[in-house]
Homo-oligomer: A and B are copies of this chain.
Amino acid sequence: MAQHTEKAKAKLHSLNAALESGALNKVERILNSGLAPADIAHLIESSPPKARKVLWDLVDKELEGEVLQYLSEDLQAHFLSDLSAEELVDITSDLDADDVADILQQLPERVTQEVLDAMDQQDRTRLEQVLGYPEDSAGGLMNTDTVTIRPDITLEVVMRYLRRHPTLPEMTDNLLIVNRNNEFIGILTINKLLVSDPNQTVREVMTTDARVIPATMQDTDVAKLFERHDLVSAPVVDAEGKLIGRITIDDVVDVIRETADHSLMSSVGLDEEEDTFAPALKTSRRRAVWLGINLLTALAASAVIGLFDKTIEQVVALAVLMPIVASMGGIAGSQVLTLVIRGQALGHLSSANFRWLFNREIIVAGINGVLWAAVIAVITLLWFNDPGIAAIIGAAIIINLLVAAVTGAALPLILKARGIDPALAGGVVLTTVTDVIGFLSFLGLATLFYL
């Protein structure tokens, strides 16, 4: 245990060696040597495509469902395509409804229906409830395996009732209290159950102001609620206040991880589900789109430069220096953009405080604009010995940093209001603006001065 990560690395290494040498029985032995399903999934995700297929085929039939739920969506869809509806029902029978729903959503509509038809009545009803909500809502995130009790029994009775279960659902940190109509009333924390006098009734010790999650709540809002109130699980209710499931922290952690991954990967036009070891052709296609979009912005910048070709012909130092103006604007703007996008994600920004932030960014851009304009002007003067061009680049730097600040601060709000993801589009739009304004101000001022 002490060297957990080291051990995992060593295992990955010997697995890869065994795979390369074709010693499949050795691979199988390592794979089924008490590795947790999550670890097996990790090994599969850490392997190139050819090895993955081999590994997947060696996984114990009984573990397949468990392993599957830890794989990325791409890989799920890939392995699932080989399975029949019966096999699917079989390998997913031990999973929580929300995890089965996630897996089924990777399949074509027709196959999903087949799988539902092959299930027993109870599992089907549960699953259909989860499938009825969007994947990124509380309803899509919930499990249906709740332990419910009535308010008028004693804790002693609750204890006896629990002992009738072979086991309780994972992460049961509270029991959910409902009335005859299955309407949610409150929770009895396990903590309270354990420290209270067994002769008290549930009603006497229950918590009625627990955090309850409406099924339609956005998953990122669910995550904020869990984070802010240190929850382990929370009940989910429908529009009528009826208890329909509960959300557990492990699924919330996945949401947090995916949201963070989304911000990071979107900034380079990739998907958070992007597979590290996707085949070359598949990944080429995805990345080509982003390169194409970037080409349009680069062409816009070139078109601006093209307007001033006469000036550049005359003063070639402009061509040498112009990338500095564009680059400084891009960097300053992306700092503001990143800060504002993060502020949005954390829920820090509102119309009430945005004005303050906006003003602060103008001041910051002013301070850094003047500072770096001076530095760059001095460098330019020493390099080209031309006070005119030094003054022009200084002015262009100040202009571009101010424009970058305004764009970086306002852009996320504008994009969000139009339903465009700022993490995806923000960087491209910002760079287009700072490139165009950078070249325009620098070459434009130079043209006024020299021609």
Query: Hey, which bits of chain A sit against chain B, CB under 8 A?
Result: 1-2, 4-5, 8-9, 12-13, 16-17, 36, 38-39, 42, 45-48, 70, 159, 162-163, 165-168, 170-173, 190-192, 194-197, 211-214, 217, 221, 224-230, 232, 249-250, 252-253, 256-257, 260-261, 263-265, 267-270, 274, 276-277, 279-281, 283-284, 287-288, 290-292, 294-295, 297-299, 301-302, 305-306, 309, 312-313, 316-324, 326-328, 331-332, 334-335, 338-339, 342-343, 346-353, 356-357, 360, 363-364, 367-368, 371-372, 375-376, 379, 435
Q: How far is the CB of A382 from chain B (nearest CB, A)?
A: 12
Count the copies: 2
Tell whether A338 pairs with B264 under 8 Å between CB atoms, given A16-B353, A294-B327, A323-B302: yes
In the bound complex, CA of A313 to CA of B311 (Å)? 11
Closest 7 CB pairs of A and B: A260-B260, A16-B352, A319-B319, A38-B228, A230-B250, A48-B356, A280-B363
Q: How far is the CB of A315 from chain B (nearest CB, A)?
A: 10
> Can you sample 21 A-B contacts with CB below 8 Å?
A1-B212, A4-B217, A5-B347, A42-B347, A46-B348, A163-B194, A167-B191, A172-B191, A226-B253, A264-B342, A265-B338, A268-B334, A276-B339, A277-B357, A283-B364, A290-B331, A295-B376, A302-B321, A309-B320, A313-B313, A319-B319
Tell whether A287 pairs with B221 under 8 Å between CB atoms, given A256-B257, A435-B323: no
Q: B301, A323: Cβ atoms under 8 Å?
A: yes
Return chain B residues, CB-CB under 8 Å to A312. 312, 316, 319
Q: A320, B348: Cβ atoms under 8 Å?
A: no
